[in-house]
Amino acid sequence: MILAAVAGSGIQPKGAEQMELSGGNAGEVPFPHHRHQRVVNECTTCHDLFPQEPGAIERLKAEGKLQKKQVMNKHCIKCHREMENAGKKSGPLRCKQCHNS
């Protein structure tokens, strides 16, 4: 399960506080990186899939190592839905709630 309790965990967010991820034709996706670090509490949840470097997601897609919408469907929405189903505050579940077209 992707969920983790972090309130008061002492996790020190690293990297950019806020990022903008490529969202393909649907538009850019503002990504509150530090908020995700505090909630997920495990960097490898995402970074096992893609390295910690700018443009990694798009590069992996171009190399055929990451399928279109794989991050969104199998990570973002999956985690947000798990949180919602657990009765916890969740991130967006609909396209226009993230993508700025």
Q: For residue range 39-89, what is the model confidence (pLDDT) as tens digits?
A: 888 888 888 888 988 889 889 999 999 998 898 998 899 999 999 999 999
* DSSP category for residue 55: T
Q: Give pTM, 2 decimals.
A: 0.78
Residue 99 CB partners (closer than 8 Å, separation 6+): 23, 26, 27, 28, 29
Residue 30, CA distances (Å) to 1, 8, 23, 54, 90 in order: 24, 25, 9, 14, 16
